[in-house]
Amino acid sequence: MKDLSVHFAGVSKKYPHFALENINLELPTGSIMGFIGANGAGKSTTIRILMGLVHQDQGAVHVLGHAMPAEQVAAKLDIGFVSEDMRLYKSATIAWHMEFIRSIYPRWDQSYAESLLQRFDLKPQQKVKGLSHGQRVKAALLLALARRPRLLVLDEPTTGLDPVARHEVLGELMAVLADEERTILFSSHNTQDVEQISDQITFIDRGRIIDSDDKEIFLDRWRRLRLVLPPEATLPRLPGIVQVSGSDRLPVLTTNSFESAMVSACHDMGATVQAVDSMTLEEIFVASVQGGRERQTV
Amino acid sequence: MNFSMVKRLILKDWYLQRWLILGSLPAGAITLGIIALGGNAGFFLGILLLVTVIIAVGGQLAVATMVSERKEQTLAFVISLPISYREYTAAKILGNLLIFLVPWITLVLGSFALLMFPPALHLGLIPFVAIMAAEILTSTCLIFAVALLSESQGWTVGAIIVGNLALNGFGYFVGHIPSIANGMWSAPLNWSPAASFLLLGEFTTIALLLGLTFFFQSRKKDFL
């Protein structure tokens, strides 16, 4: 049996204009999951349910072995949480925040916190109101990391950062993550950010999980096949075709279940395979979302 | 209930509101000075300023520690800590009440001292002042309740206005209760059953307001 840090089983939550429907999610201990969705897809709602901040209407949520939201106090002792809409107290210094968090978390690591201060180029006596957005994100990350959490939940931490600050934050985060093994859930609508640090990928759209897999398997099984069809030939029927674009003569098939046998199957049906293109995570995400939405409307 | 966590959250609000607490005390002391030394006009002006200082402290506390927590997005930081909504609510109610009681008790005791000792010596006013001081505490608890339940600046400002208007109306009402009004401007203290009844009613209202706020707030399912 897998050791899971996060387990969602059939979780639903209804709002007047949005619903999270039948979310099933597994995050194995020690892995880093990129949780990707467009704005309003349900990432933050899912994460709030994970944190016990929002109660699900249906389904079971277990985080680090604790049933949520009932056992959220025990679970949150082992979680470091940073979200895009989280702010620190403007009138207080970073040092005050560090002391406040230290007084709550028994595993707070002061020497690690001090090394992060240096690495993030933060000054402890600086008040939060004088920090740039990038520095505020780094300060929040420091507070989350130095409590030595078993699970790190990052809800769009790079949103709103300028490219330089985003690069810095991600670079520092990757350097920090390289230090040791952690379980991380990293949500973003920016696939590049997620691709850099994740080993598992989950896509969410319109309140539903549309795909979830290991990153390498994800990148391996998605391909774009550029075909040339002879006149009056029909498009070969292949498994896992998510999208068909291009023209009748020069179709482009996007598949989420690529196997090399597909190429010979195309040849057998009279089609010429001009190219088999790998796809970036962003292309996969867009194709997944569009394919999912098309299936919903059919 | 994790009381150690509640205590930490209370201390956090005390620290963040320390300038409000410290600032209210000299402001209150100045108004007490005006009451003591300003003659008849100073007496009424000082009372007006004193009431304004206490009400302002209560309103500012509610906005700064409850409404702004959501508005300035520090709520996500606090509730990601190992606390339940019950503990958060308990900390907000207790913390704000304790912070408010610092200037309230200091200024109420200062007012009593002015009335009890020369040159003012208006012992007859003590029941009226006690009832009105409790009324200010009740209004402030109403403001806390509205701020905590609604987390809305608009509703909280509305509660401040209602509390202020109620204070004036209540003052007029109490000042016209014969058993309280008759001895108000005489030297000896005349504590009537009506004064005790009103005080009891006010403290019961405070207990109900805070108890119901805790009850409803604890039942909320969504923090954010």
pLDDT tens readout for residues A23-45: 999 999 988 999 999 888 999 99
**Interface contact flag, B12 A86, Cβ < 8 Å:** no
Instruction: Give residue limits of the domains in chain B.
Output: 3-218
The answer to whether A153 and A76 have CB atoms below 8 angstroms apart is no
| CA closest to B85 among chain A residues | A53
Q: How far apart are CA B131 and CA B125, in angstroms?
A: 10
Residue range B168-209, pLDDT digits in tens: 899 999 989 988 888 777 777 888 899 999 999 999 999 999
Residue range A101-122, pLDDT digits in tens: 999 999 999 999 999 999 888 9
| CA closest to A49 among chain B residues | B222
Residue range B91-148, pLDDT digits in tens: 999 999 999 998 899 888 888 888 887 666 678 888 999 999 999 999 999 999 999 9
| CA closest to A93 among chain B residues | B16
- Which pLDDT score, from 0 to 100, does residue B134 have? 95
Nearest to B82 among A86, A91, A104 (CB): A104
Does this model's pTM top 0.90? My answer is no
φ, ψ of residue A89 in degrees (nearest 5): -75, 120
Nearest to A76 among B8, B16, B81 (CB): B81
Contacts of B83 in chain A (CB under 8 A): 73, 76
Q: How far apart are CA B80 and CA B7, in angstroms?
A: 17
Residue A268 has pLDDT above 70, yes or no: yes
Contacts of B81 in chain A (CB under 8 A): 76, 104
The residue among A68, A91, A13 whose CA lies nearest residue A46 is A13
Instruction: Using pLDDT thresholds of 50, 70 and 90, give the confidence band for residue B155.
Output: very high
Residue B211 has pLDDT above 90, yes or no: yes
Q: How far apart are the first and last CA of chain A?
A: 38
Q: How far apart are CA B196 and CA B4, in angstroms?
A: 37
Q: How far apart are CA A222 and CA A285, in angstroms?
A: 10
* Residue B143 CA: distances (Å) to CA of A76, B164, B166, B185: 31, 10, 12, 32
**Interface contact flag, B5 A140, Cβ < 8 Å:** no
CA angle, residues A256, A261, A267, in degrees to nearest 5? 110
**Interface contact flag, B76 A73, Cβ < 8 Å:** no
- Residue extent(s) of CATH 3.40.50.300 domains in chain A: 4-213
ipTM: 0.84
- Which pLDDT score, from 0 to 100, does residue A181 have? 67
- If one counts every other C-beta atom within 10 angstroms of the C-beta of residue A158, the result is 23
Contacts of B72 in chain A (CB under 8 A): 87, 90
- Which pLDDT score, from 0 to 100, does residue B44 have? 78
Contacts of A73 in chain B (CB under 8 A): 2, 82-84, 87
Q: Where are the beta strands (DSSP E) in chain B?
A: none
The answer to whether A79 and A101 have CB atoms below 8 angstroms apart is no
- Which pLDDT score, from 0 to 100, does residue B96 have? 93
DSSP one-letter code for A37: E
- Mean local confidence (pLDDT), A70-90: 93
Q: How far apart are CA A129 and CA A5, in angstroms?
A: 35
Residue range B72-96, pLDDT digits in tens: 899 999 999 999 888 999 999 999 9
- Mean local confidence (pLDDT), B22-30: 85
Question: A171 is written with which tokens?
Answer: 């670079």
- Which pLDDT score, from 0 to 100, does residue A179 have? 62
Nearest to A103 among B8, B76, B84 (CB): B8
Look at chain B and count its residues.
224
What mean pLDDT is reported for chain B?
88
Does residue B83 belong to the interface with chain A, where contact is any CB pair within 8 Å? yes
Nearest to B222 among A55, A103, A104 (CB): A55
| CA closest to A81 among chain B residues | B80
* Residue B133 CA: distances (Å) to CA of A67, A131, B159: 47, 42, 18
- Which pLDDT score, from 0 to 100, does residue A191 have? 86
CA distance B74 to chain A (A): 5
Instruction: Using pLDDT thresholds of 50, 70 and 90, give the confidence band for residue B12.
Output: very high
Candidates 3.40.190.80, 3.40.50.300, 3.90.25.10, 1.25.40.10; correct CATH number of A4-213? 3.40.50.300
Poorest-pLDDT segment among A116-120, A148-152, B39-43, B203-207: B39-43
Q: What percent of chain B has pLDDT over 70?
A: 98
Nearest to A55 among B8, B79, B221 (CB): B221
- If one counts every other C-beta atom within 10 angstroms of the C-beta of residue A131, the result is 18
* Residue A201 CA: distances (Å) to CA of A31, A194, A254: 10, 8, 19
Greater model confidence, A128 or B36: A128
DSSP one-letter code for A17: S
* Residue A127 CA: distances (Å) to CA of A93, A94, A96, A117: 4, 6, 9, 14
